[in-house]
Structure 1
Amino acid sequence: METEMTPAYRISNVEHLPSPSLVVFPELVKNNIQQLISMVESVNKLRPHIKTCKSADAIKLLQSAGINKFKCATIAEAELLGTCEAKDVLLAYQPVGPNIDRFITLIKRFPNTSFACLIDHRDIAEQLHQAALNEDCQVGIFIDINVGMNRTGVQLAQILPLVDHSLSLANLKIRGLHCYDGHIHDASLETRKIQCERYFTEIEQLVSQLNDRYQSSFTIVAGGTPTFPIHAASPRKDIECSPGTFIFWDKGYQHLFSEQPFQVAAFVISRVISIVDDTKLCLDLGHKAIASENELSKRVFFVNAPDARTVSHSEEHLVIEVPNTRDYTVGDVFYGVPHHICPTVALYDTAFTITDNRWNGEWPITARRRKITI
């Protein structure tokens, strides 16, 4: 489904919005949250990732809907969740260097939040244990498993030794396994299911083995947005799903994963700053205003100029080709759907909120920072 310039997206006072800027539609965000909840048997199966929103306002909407478990990627995101009094937070990253002490500080500062982090190496397990011992606290950990993305995590054969060693460290508490399958992102849901089953059968066998061996009940934190419908449909009670993009959605996932009926709830607003020639316009939407890790054709889609084609992109400028520039004037507004919303949000200090077709508020993007206070 292509995003259209429907009445819900019109901004009657857009002339007062600076550009480039990020705008969010809170009512559509609420709809996306309810859509997410409708796809699982219980909210207990949800551990959404806040790397997309990075905002206390969005987190509070999730909490109001009954979601109490969260996943994040940075100490700043974890601190934001602590200030929001989130009950359960997984730092989906193995802390190293000074971040180990920062993580311990989080645990001490927010005693009402249960924090855990990932590990995939015994040296880090030992360092976390020592830091926790020094501060008289306990650290929850999830063993990060490499299920095919080849980015982080231990191989299956290394899990038992790491679990055994971690259990010998009194100030660590193993809560489960983390299986991020971000390498599975085919457009076909059936293909994703097949690829997911290839690795998950082994994970299920492993969890049964671990539960029997240690008389425990390990949780499996599995997947992201592409495989969310698959893990969400599993009858297992010990699986937690961690989609993040759903809250704002974007052009990339809208195109690939049509079976997920989320709505685009965030745009970038840009303006024409120069008319180059008969077919080219320059907009104020440079690398600093929209995620630029993909090829030129996968940066932004303009809902009010669907035929526009990106020609060049630099720090402060985006040049696009349109059928005829005589249809435009300097200052015209372009409504853009980012191809990748998560790193786009991280470029803005604030998102302007649109309610009843008017800009009437702001959401601070607090956790775009690498450090808040800790």
Structure 2
Amino acid sequence: METWYAIDNAVQVDSPALLVYRDRIVQNIDRALHFVHGVEDRLRPHIKTNKCKEVCQLMMDKGIKKFKCATIAEAELLGVIGAEDVLLAYQPVGPKVDRFLQLSKAFPNTHFSCLVDNSDAAQAISSKSLAIGLRTTIYIDINVGMRRTGVVLEDLERLFMDVLLMDGLQLIGVHGYDGHIHDKDDKKRGEQCERSYGILQTAYLMVQANISRPLRKVIGGSPSFPFHAERTDVECSPGTFVFWDFGYAENYAEQNFQLAAVLLTRVVSIVDHKHLCLDLGYKSVACESSQPRVKFFDPRIGEIKMQSEEHLVVEVPDSSKFTIGDSLYCVPRHICPTVACYGELQVVNGRQADQTWTVYARNRKINY
């Protein structure tokens, strides 16, 4: 049985730990570039998955210059490493407006943009931008079917006409996130992506007809990535591809990214002859999904029977085959919020966890 995930120095690594495999991350970045036929400018990866300087730097080393993020801390991290173009895929409101504008002052070599889907929110950003001598670039967020954020087509004309009159803003594109698309059947998923793209394209044409300079289109996440990657007129925004997880591996196997993040856990108690308790509570792995929230490499680990804050009870054929302190490896169903459970990643090179990467943007605030 292949054990690529096992490390030789597990005894030196406290658990629970999130191991990341540098060579596999690099291969996944290459795979993402393959989808866009090597045109780096068509990739705008979302860093919500990794929240880490070093992973973003690996993407920059491959020529990727544009990024997307969801929090001010993630945007700041990208400014710190000198990313060229950063889109905050969120409409900043309240104190976030000031925090976002501070980034443009603090990191003048990074071009920051944000989303808007509401005239009042846009006006607040415009007014505060003018007050400090900035003109903020924005994308209009379009509701392409997810019904979470974004303006619907019926209200788009009024919004962009308002925006065009705001001196503190410069409209540079339209954005759509189709996170509602997650059908396992790739044919159905392709049809759904086509509908979402159609909505974004309609919005683009409506706005472009009123602006002389060319606008950009940003669309998609990981499930829709291969379909939008074939379009030469959009920037694609996958994020999970750098680490992957078992949820995406099972549902979108055709993307063929490699698992590059694995949880190390240990047996902390032998409950009875059929059950073990591990140190993998729901403070250590994303818990928004139903069980199983992790998939174990060891085939002896059966059904998850109970999970609490610091404990995970699993069923096994014979608990006498295990000892207290045994190391076990598993992959989370959803890697993005799992990363946010950890202050640092244990980096595996070869079969050694010999480095740590700080998850800087795990916090809501770094400096700004």
Equivalent pair of 1:296/1:312 in contact (CA under 8 Å):
no
Q: Tell me which of 27, 40, 47 is aligned to 1:43.
A: 40
1:270 counterpart letter in structure 2: T
2:218 counterpart letter in structure 1: V
Are 2:272 and 1:293 equivalent residues in the alignment?
no
Q: Tell me which of 93, 99, 108 is aligned to 1:96.
A: 93
Partner of 1:260: 255
TM-score (norm 1): 0.96
- Provide, for residues 195-223 of structure 1, a one-character-per-residue CA deviation record: whole Å limited to 9, x for no partner: 12123223223322322222232211101
Which consecutive unaligned segments of at least 5 residues does structure 1 have? none
1:105 counterpart letter in structure 2: Q
Partner of 2:145: 148
Considering only aligned residues, what root-mean-square deviation do their CA atoms show, in Å?
Answer: 1.1
Partner of 2:240: 245
- Provide, for residues 4-47 of structure 1, a one-character-per-residue CA deviation record: whole Å limited to 9, x for no partner: x6343220111111000111100110000001101103111100
Partner of 2:173: 176
Are 2:158 and 1:161 equivalent residues in the alignment?
yes
Partner of 1:28: 24
- Provide, for residues 259-279 of structure 1, a one-character-per-residue CA deviation record: whole Å limited to 9, x for no partner: 101000011110000011121
2:107 counterpart letter in structure 1: F
DSSP-derived class of the 2:44 partner: coil
Q: Tell me which of 343, 347, 351 is aligned to 1:349.
A: 343
Are 2:337 and 1:363 equivalent residues in the alignment?
no
Partner of 2:5: 9
| In structure 2, C-alpha distance between the alignment counterparts of 1:61 and 1:350, rounded to whole Å | 17
Aligned-pair identity in percent equals 46
- Provide, for residues 118-140 of structure 1, a one-character-per-residue CA deviation record: whole Å limited to 9, x for no partner: 11110111000011011001111
Instruction: Report the alpha carbon displacement of residue 359 of structure 1 after superposing the two structures with TM.
Output: 1.2
- Provide, for residues 299-358 of structure 1, a one-character-per-residue CA deviation record: whole Å limited to 9, x for no partner: 101112365211111100011112221221111111010100000000101101111101
Q: Tell me which of 254, 267, 271 is aligned to 1:272.
A: 267
1:364 counterpart letter in structure 2: T
Equivalent pair of 2:163/2:171 in contact (CA under 8 Å):
yes
| In structure 2, C-alpha distance between the alignment counterparts of 1:202 and 1:147, rounded to whole Å | 6
- Provide, for residues 43-88 of structure 1, a one-character-per-residue CA deviation record: whole Å limited to 9, x for no partner: 1110000000000000110000000000000000000000010000
Partner of 2:311: 317
Q: Any runs of at least 4 consecutive aligned residues in structure 1 with deviations exceeding 4 A, and if so which?
A: none
1:46-57 map, 5 Å: 46-57=43-54
DSSP-derived class of the 2:30 partner: helix
DSSP-derived class of the 1:198 partner: helix
Partner of 1:335: 329
| In structure 2, C-alpha distance between the alignment counterparts of 1:256 and 1:118, rounded to whole Å | 30
DSSP-derived class of the 1:142 partner: strand
1:192-231 map, 5 Å: 192-231=189-228
| In structure 2, C-alpha distance between the alignment counterparts of 1:307 and 1:12, rounded to whole Å | 21
How many residue pairs get matched? 367
Partner of 2:125: 128
